[in-house]
Amino acid sequence: MKTEKQKADYNHIAAKLIEYVEQRSTDMADGQYQVASDSYLDEQRWRKEMDKIFKRLPVLVGASSELSEPGRYVTRDFAGVPLLITRLRDGSVRVMLNACAHRGMKVADGQGKCEKFACPYHAWLYGNDGSLQRVYGEATYGQVDKAAMSLTQLPVHEEAGLIFAVLTPGVEIDFKDFYGEMLDDLTSLGFQDWHYCGNRVIQGANWKIAYDGYLEGYHFAAAHPKTINERTHSNVMQFHAHGPHQMIGFPQRTIDKLREVPADELHQYENEGYDFVRALFPNTSIFVAPEITQIAQLIPGPTVGENTTILHFINRKAPETDEDKQANETMMDWLRDVVQVEDYDLGLKAQQGMASGAHKYITFGRNEKGNQYFHRWLEFYLGERDEKPVL
């Protein structure tokens, strides 16, 4: 259910999209914006981003539906940080460092269902809440203060069907404050009751080069002529911000039919005339579509010029038949291929161009307002600008 404020926001965004398509225009920033090419290439800048952003602010670590029942767990490497994510019997979620207190070994691998983890190195046994329960051969090893040697917990928050964590233990953060009204919007989608279809993993360039591609539709005609561009108008966007997070509206080719709809009802037509990309700062993009919803989780590294992206796919309902299942698999493969071939392969070439030293700066146009906003927020969190940006 949307709040009155949300309805008003959606109505406004949809009306603007209808108007822009008619006028062949788009939402625009006041001016262009330059970012040093080096900021995508420089290792020190990248380390600073890791330390001040990825290790200090909340990031999405997974979808609630990945851990659909107690006992489920998922392991994940996030920018060099090994994570173990578990669902306990009481329904709560833990995000822990996947590192044994004995000599650091990963106690779990892959994903699955089990309530205890035996470390593969010397068989110390942990509960899925991270508690150390048994030390193999304790009589010879010597006594262990088990309570002090559990797995290290990270700050975690689960809401709106998404799992957020901070990658540094002990950091005090107000998750609700950080996500603000974006959480209301995500809650209204109801992801907490959705089904996890699976994921696809792809590799690409520097995480910001990859992320920039999710924040504008300026590239649709040239880069996605036979795919996205057939469904969606190129270079028409409406940007809406909640703190550093953004909702970016894109008009479908069929948006004209919404001209008949009363202005105060337009909010009901997401995916039936317009779509949204919801961009959670700093590295998550959520694209809701009727066929399947894609949650792109961009994980920087291992070097400045690389990122691994996990494309998570969720759907309103679990597939009922083999055909439904197959349709999901086909859709996931198709979206993976589009993002890999039409976005990430381009990103790798763009990165080569930047690295050639051809241009000291890259320049975002007025139409690339979402990118401008994203880079300004990065600068804010890196301590390079004092004021919080406004859209």
Q: Decide if residue 108 touches ligand FES (CB under 6 A).
A: no
Residue 57 near which of ligand FES, Fe ion, none (CB within 5-8 Å, type-dependent): none
Binding partner at 102 among Fe ion, ligand FES, none, C-beta below 5 to 8 Å by kind? ligand FES
The answer to whether residue 102 forms part of the interface with ligand FES (CB under 6 A) is: yes
216 lies in the binding site for Fe ion (CB under 5 A): no
From the centroid of its chain, how far is CA 257? Answer: 31
For residue 108, the minimal CB distance to ligand FES (Å) is 11
Q: Does 2 bind ligand FES (CB under 6 A)?
A: no
Comparison of 99 and 332: residue with beta carbon closer to ligand FES:
99
| Contact flag: residue 121 with ligand FES (CB under 6 A) | yes
Binding segment for ligand FES (CB under 6 A), chosen from 99-107, 265-273, 307-315, 383-391, is: 99-107
153 φ, ψ (degrees, to nearest 5): -85, 145
Among 5, 47, 89, 103, indicate the residue that binds ligand FES (CB under 6 A): 103
Per partner kind, with CB cut-offs from 5 to 8 A, the member of ligand FES, Fe ion, none near residue 124 is: ligand FES
Under the criterion CB under 6 A, does residue 100 sit at the interface with ligand FES? yes
How is residue 201 written in tokens? 């993993």
Q: Please, which residue, 167 or 237, has the CB nearer to Fe ion?
A: 237
Query: Please, what is the angle between helix 181-189 and helix 4-23, to 10°?
Result: 90
Among 20, 73, 124, 211, which residue interacts with ligand FES (rule: CB under 6 A)? 124
Under rule CB under 5 A, residue 343 binds Fe ion: yes
Q: How far is the CB of 303 from ligand FES (least distance, A)?
A: 28
> If contact means CB under 5 to 8 A according to the sort of partner, which of ligand FES, Fe ion, none does residue 121 touch?
ligand FES
| Residue 106 binds ligand FES (CB under 6 A) | no
Interacting span for Fe ion (CB under 5 A) from 8-16, 94-102, 147-155, 207-215? 207-215
# of chain residues touching ligand FES (CB under 6 A): 8
Residue 186 beta carbon to Fe ion: minimum distance, rounded to whole angstroms: 22
Residues found near ligand FES in the complex (CB under 6 A): 100, 102-103, 105, 119, 121-122, 124
